[in-house]
Amino acid sequence: MAQKKLFAEMNWVVALGGMMMPFAMAAAHADTVVKIGFSSPLSGPQAHYGKDNENATKMAIDDINAKGLMVGGQKIKFELVSEDDQADPRVGTQAAQRLVDAGVKAVIGHFNSGVSIPASRIYSEAGIPQLSVSTNPAYTQQGYKTTFRLVGSDSQIGGSLGQFAVKTLKAKSIVAIDDRTAYGQGIADEFVKAVTANGGKVLRREFTSDKATDFTSILTAVKAVNPEVIFYGGADAQAAPMAKQLKRLGLKAKLMGGDMMNTPTFIQLAGADATGHYSAVAGGILAARPAGKEFERRYKERFHQDVVLLGPQFYDGVMLVAEAMKQAGSVEPAKYLPKLAAIRYSGVTADFAFAPNGNLLKAPVTLSIVKNNAWAVQTVVR
């Protein structure tokens, strides 16, 4: 009884293989838990993008924790705080505030430009770095020091496709359609600019919504100009039925889209009608990167599916935060933020360095075409 009382008074604990040691000493051996925020659409029609992003984020956190991260002499353990933003700006800002309130030290996300842009103000006011794959140029044009883009912007993606349509496909009759989201409209705008800059002309500009699946009216209207290329700014869930309806209406136009079209889902939904259509992704060829093939192997082994789209960039986002914290010797955003802004890091998807506004420098863009029921790379543009 006296021994139990003594242990209680000294606040001893059982630790390190059953040895008794003072609580203060045990606490010194405990890992410091650092919360890392994540947000993407985890429900709804874009959930396949979001789960891909979350899977890769979990992989990165598990890899870091397994290896052991030392920051300022203290062992750090990352803990994921995940939010479903439903690809909705209103829901996304609420998710952003919850992440801030949870005390996260960084946010990897969001996926959609329309969500990232309003959420970025919340993170900026809290001083929390946000690393996003959102491509709308406005994301990094707000003057926030906390915003970082992990891929190229719409000006690079849409610009590459616009130039390709005019210079390579020699298209004379071009139409642009977008879903009126920040992503869809933004990338369509950049496509139109690039077509014009390269001596081409967009004969018609139409729009729909990111919930639509019937494009018969729009396609019937544009059929009058006999388009050779139709650019669609939006997601695979709309691009696929559009491809099918093109065929049904007798239109021979090549459909073009950005990274949200470049998925296995587009091919699965469009079936044989996916063949011959083009997309561009903000990123290089993953398998061509030194660690790319190994990442793809490990991802498939763990999650029993292929990488969907930009999950590897989310993986890199976590690694960039860890590296910046290590260089700064601190997990506090105010202290590691300057290191993140000046970082040089060879990741799974790119050699990372950021411009003063947070844009990724030397961002590659990969153009692909659907052949033999798969996306086949045509060219990589930097």
Angle between helices 47-67 and 311-328 (to 10 degrees): 40
Judged against a pLDDT cut of 60, whether residue 298 lies above it is answered with yes
Residue 209 lies in a domain: yes
Mean pLDDT of the chain: 93
How confident is the model at residue 29, as a pLDDT?
52
The predicted model gives 8-17 an average pLDDT of 43
pTM (predicted TM-score): 0.88
Residue that wins the pLDDT comparison between 285 and 55? 55
Q: Do 233 and 160 share a structural domain?
A: yes
Under the banding of pLDDT at 50, 70 and 90, the label for residue 116 is: very high
pLDDT score recorded for residue 30: 65
Report the alpha-carbon distance of residue 315 to residue 289 in Å, rounded: 14
Same domain, yes or no: 264 and 374: yes
Question: Is the pLDDT at 243 greater than 80, yes or no?
Answer: yes
Mean pLDDT of 354-372: 96
- Give the integer Cα–Cα distance in Å for 112 and 181: 9
> Is 73 found in the same domain as 108?
yes
Q: Is residue 109 part of a domain?
A: yes
| C-beta atoms surrounding 73 within 10 Å | 6
CA distance linking residue 69 with residue 320, whole number of Å: 13
Q: Look at residue 370 in the predicted model and tell me its pLDDT.
A: 98
Where residue 228 sits, what CATH number does that domain have? 3.40.50.2300
Count of structural domains, the chain = 2
The whole-angstrom separation of Cα 344 and Cα 352 is 6
Contacts with 364 (C-beta within 8 Å, 6 or more apart), sequence order: 152, 283, 284, 350, 380, 381, 382
For residues 138 and 167, membership in a common domain is answered with no
Is residue 11's pLDDT more than 70?
Answer: no
Helix (H, G, I), strand (E, B) or coil at 287: helix
Report residue 10's pLDDT band, with 50, 70 and 90 as the boundaries: very low
73 belongs to a structural domain: yes
Half-sphere exposure of residue 216, counting CA atoms within 13 Å on the CB side? 3
Q: Is 245 part of any domain?
A: yes
Same domain flag for 187 and 148: no
User: Rounded to an integer, what distance in angstroms lies between the CA atom of residue 128 and that of residue 37?
Assistant: 10
Residue 262 lies in a domain: yes
* Position 7 pLDDT exceeds 70: no
CA distances from 346 to 5, 71, 212, 335, 351 (A): 55, 20, 40, 22, 4
**Which long-range contacts (C-beta less than 8 Å, at least 24 apart) are formed by 284-288?**
284/349, 284/350, 284/364, 284/366, 284/380, 285/366, 285/377, 285/380, 286/312, 286/348, 286/349
**Mean pLDDT confidence for 52-64:** 98
Predicted local confidence at residue 26, as pLDDT: 44
> Domain range holding 106?
32-152+288-349
Indicate whether 14 pLDDT > 50.
no
186-224: burial string, b at 16+ Cβ within 10 Å, e else: bbbbbbbbbbeeeebebebebbbebebeebeebbeebee
Provide CB contacts within 8 A for 116, sequence distance 6+: 92, 109, 110, 130, 132, 134, 136, 139
% of the chain surpassing 70 pLDDT: 92
Q: Position of tokens 């491509």?
A: 135
Q: Are residues 234 and 370 in the same domain?
A: yes
Q: Are residues 200 and 278 in the same domain?
A: yes
Are 252 and 230 contacting, i.e. CB atoms less than 8 angstroms apart?
A: no
Instruction: For CA atoms 232, 234, 239, 242, give the dihedral sign.
Output: negative
DSSP 3-state of 326: helix
Quick check: is 15 in a domain? no
- Please state the rounded mean pLDDT for residues 163-173: 96
